[in-house]
Copies of this chain bind each other. A is one copy, B any other.
């Protein structure tokens, strides 16, 4: 590119029609002139060849992505991060933060085409720039308005449960895989009686021959209604319908007819676009689990920040987003957890809020630290072993969670509350005096041998 060519990929943001562009923040390491690298980066993700041979046309004004901000964070580093790429031959490696305005008319309101443009070949194969991270994405309201977003959202979910002033209490039924439907349903039933709002299938529990969804959803649906009658409280059975895309709507219909009143889908393995398809059909809340996001989001300077996927999960129509929570155990920084919670709850044009559920090795003792960190009741709390590995069984485990919440409301310490409640006392004895154990070995202790 000549210098006059570069300028076609730069713009003063005030000169652009903001409704015509999505905005993207990237971290970028490049060789050579950072301005040239940023121009190439825009060209590669939009119109790298902007005229036909023999023509004087220029496709850039309408179709070119534009650099609207470029900050060089560090210059003349001897090599790229993470041992990737050749050592710089001259001038070293420059670490930059680039903000780009990308015209969404290039691809339209389509998730697969959006992904192909902003984290596809153009982004990750820009010349001389092997290290890239898509840090954030922002949409104009007119673009957002072409998506349905959550059907229920935080407020709709609260209406379903008639719970307004506290977190929503989830539990992952464990053993997660291997139990027949009868035994599995019994565990769910006990957990509802103990005080869970939502008993859920594990994200790895599929529609298998040893636990068919048809049978499981009948038994859990029946147990759920029985628990509602006995407790006088509304309950949710969250059935995992993660499966091949062509089965999703059938499994939705089957599970809902049998009494499942929310559905779990592993967002990335199934695909966000398939979720958007299911959203058009769904009659119950859709809840996302997070497999297959960490492989591209964990490293600080490479890949795609998980908040981008939280926003896209909300846009695709999830009412709830389960995500890695605080603490060393989940290999996720506090800032990243907070960014994902914010991506669920912050205003997003016409798109409803979805409920964030930051999870990982939770039990009664991790509730207050989590609540204190979030500073809102608009979250879900999702123990697994903390309910289903409790020595008094899931009813006792669920009770210990509710007792921990009551202590918060009553201004009591966990120990004060435990002195009054045997379930909480047993939880503390089992799951550790430490509120959030720091040692990997202790938190990882499988519950198989606890009984």
0 or 1 for each of A265-308: is its CB under 8 Å from B? (1 = yes): 01011111110110010000000011110111011101110000
Contact of A244 (CB < 8 Å), options: B85, B111, B303, B449: B111
Q: Cβ of A119 and Cβ of B246 under 8 Å apart?
A: no
In the assembled complex, which residues on chain B have CB atoms less than 8 Å from the CB atom of A115?
266, 268-269, 291-292
Give the distance in Å from the alpha carbon of A183 to the alpha carbon of B120 in the complex. Answer: 26
Contact of A112 (CB < 8 Å), options: B105, B175, B244, B392: B244
A252 on interface, CB distance cutoff 8 Å: no
In the assembled complex, which residues on chain B have CB atoms less than 8 Å from the CB atom of A244?
110-112, 273, 276-277
Q: Which partner residue on chain B sits nearest A53 by CB separation?
A: B451
Q: Cβ of B43 and Cβ of A446 under 8 Å apart?
A: yes
A40 on interface, CB distance cutoff 8 Å: yes
Number of interface residues of A (CB under 8 A): 124
Q: Cβ of B388 and Cβ of A266 under 8 Å apart?
A: no
A107 on interface, CB distance cutoff 8 Å: yes
A231 on interface, CB distance cutoff 8 Å: no
Q: Cβ of A52 and Cβ of B187 under 8 Å apart?
A: yes
Q: Which partner residue on chain B sits nearest A39 by CB separation?
A: B446
Q: Cβ of B53 and Cβ of A208 under 8 Å apart?
A: no
A421 on interface, CB distance cutoff 8 Å: no
0 or 1 for each of A371-404: is its CB under 8 Å from B? (1 = yes): 0000000000000110011111110000000000
In the assembled complex, which residues on chain B have CB atoms less than 8 Å from the CB atom of A145?
none
In the assembled complex, which residues on chain B have CB atoms less than 8 Å from the CB atom of A311?
none
In the assembled complex, which residues on chain B have CB atoms less than 8 Å from the CB atom of A46?
177, 204
Q: Which partner residue on chain B sits nearest A52 by CB separation?
A: B175
In the assembled complex, which residues on chain B have CB atoms less than 8 Å from the CB atom of A204?
45-46, 106-107, 113, 116-117, 120, 122
Most buried by B among A43, A44, A291: A291
Give the distance in Å from the alpha carbon of A208 to the alpha carbon of B108 in the complex. Answer: 7
Q: Cβ of B298 and Cβ of A385 under 8 Å apart?
A: no
Q: Cβ of B389 and Cβ of A298 under 8 Å apart?
A: no
Contact of A245 (CB < 8 Å), options: B117, B130, B271: B271
Q: Cβ of A49 and Cβ of B447 under 8 Å apart?
A: yes
Q: Which of A12-20, A217-225, A325-333, A345-353 contacts B (4 or more CB under 8 A)?
A: A325-333
Q: Cβ of B269 and Cβ of A113 under 8 Å apart?
A: yes
A258 on interface, CB distance cutoff 8 Å: no
Q: Cβ of B446 and Cβ of A48 under 8 Å apart?
A: yes
Q: Cβ of A84 and Cβ of B116 under 8 Å apart?
A: no
Q: Cβ of A270 and Cβ of B269 under 8 Å apart?
A: no
Q: How far is the CB of A1 from chain B (nearest CB, A)?
A: 6
In the assembled complex, which residues on chain B have CB atoms less than 8 Å from the CB atom of A31?
440
A243 on interface, CB distance cutoff 8 Å: yes
Evaluate whether A116 and B292 lie within 8 angstroms (CB atoms) in the complex, with A125-B324, A208-B108 already known: yes
Q: Cβ of B295 and Cβ of A451 under 8 Å apart?
A: no
Evaluate whether A277 and B116 lie within 8 angstroms (CB atoms) in the complex, with A51-B175, A58-B448, A174-B49 already known: no
The 20 listed contacts between A and B (C-beta, < 8 Å) are A45-B204, A47-B176, A49-B389, A50-B446, A55-B451, A83-B300, A84-B298, A110-B243, A112-B270, A115-B269, A116-B204, A120-B204, A120-B269, A124-B298, A127-B444, A129-B440, A245-B245, A270-B271, A271-B271, A295-B296
Q: Which 3 A-B pairs have the closest CB atoms?
A: A271-B271, A120-B291, A128-B440
